Structure formats: C-alpha cells, structure tokens
Amino acid sequence: MVREGVGLLSVRFVLVFLAALLMVFSFSDGCFLVFAAGEAEARGAVVAAEEMVVECYRVVGGADEAGANVTGLLTRLDDAGLLLSKASLAYGEGDYDSAYDLAGESLVRLDGFAVEANVLWWNALQARRWDFMVNVVGSAVGAVVVVLCGFLVWFLLKRRYG
C-alpha cells in the first residue's frame, strides 16, 4: 500500500515537472537558443533591409505626389534608415551579429509600411476627386442654376408686367 502511494506521487511529480518545463520553454523568447550570424546571413539581412528602405521611399514618394500627408511615414522611414546605416557600419567592422540584428530591426520597423503608404495614396486620390467634383463640377452646375433661375425670374416678371 505504501508502494502504490509512492508510485502515484512520483508520477504526479514527473507530470508537474514536465508541465513546468513546457511552460518555461513556451514563455521564453528563444533565450535558450544561441545563434551567431555569419557574414553571409548578415550581408543578406543588410541587403534585404536596403531593398526594403528603397521600396518604401518609392511608395512614400508616390503617396506624397498624390497629396497625402506622409510626415508620420517619413519619421518611421528615417528611423529604419538610421538602423540600416548602423547595420552597414557594423557589417563593415566585422560585427556580423549586430549587423544582422540591426538590419532585422530595420525590417521590423518597416513592416506594413507599404500598405499604410498605399492607403494614404488612395485616400489622397479620393480627396482630390471630391475636391474636383465640388470645386469644378459644383461651380459649373451652380452657374447654370443661377442663369436658369435668372431667366425664369425674368420670364415671370416680363409676363406679369409685360
């Protein structure tokens, strides 16, 4: 009888230990894994970040040409460019781990950037369209209505006093 209780207790202990071990590894951010970036990985990350920054500048330029307010996007782009320049500097000095990390951080800052810029571009185009409709078409229709109302008033007055 004592042996069954000890066996049951040890099974519970093992299950609790495994559950605790699973929780430790599931809540950690990979701090138990050690990764050292080599020259090829660092160069690839820096090149990918450079391409992303160039693409984001192109997209934000299009949004700016459409009349969108891109100051918030330019601030994010400047931050990403600063991280990229630090990554290039670290790569040039042979610090491949820092170069890899900084280039990755630059890419993270630009995550979703193109989508936001395209939304601003689309909204600016819609605003320009509505401005055209109100200013040009609205003015033309208003002028025609004023002329027609004037003609109608003239016709009614002529008929009454004529």
Backbone angles phi, psi at 48, to 5 degrees: -65, -40
The residues spanned by each domain of the chain are 37-122
Q: Residue 25: its pLDDT value, please? A: 60
Q: Residue 27: its pLDDT value, please? A: 60
Q: Residue 133: its pLDDT value, please? A: 78
Phi-psi map region of 112: left, alpha, beta (phi>0 left; psi -120 to 50 alpha) = left
Residue 21: C-alpha distances to residues 12, 13, 27, 30, 141 (Å): 14, 12, 10, 14, 75
Which residue stretches of the chain have pLDDT < 50? 1-2, 5-6, 30-34
**For residues 55 and 63, what is the distance between their CA atoms, to the nearest angstrom?**
13
User: What amino acid is encoded at 134 in this protein?
Assistant: V
Measure the CA angle with vertex 39, ends 33 and 44; round to 5°.
90
Phi-psi map region of 70: left, alpha, beta (phi>0 left; psi -120 to 50 alpha) = alpha
**For residues 120 and 149, what is the distance between their CA atoms, to the nearest angstrom?**
41
Per residue in 88-116, pLDDT (tens digit) is 999 999 989 999 999 999 999 999 898 99
Q: Residue 55: its pLDDT value, please? A: 92
User: What amino acid is encoded at 82 in this protein?
Assistant: L
Q: Residue 130: its pLDDT value, please? A: 79
Q: Residue 131: its pLDDT value, please? A: 75
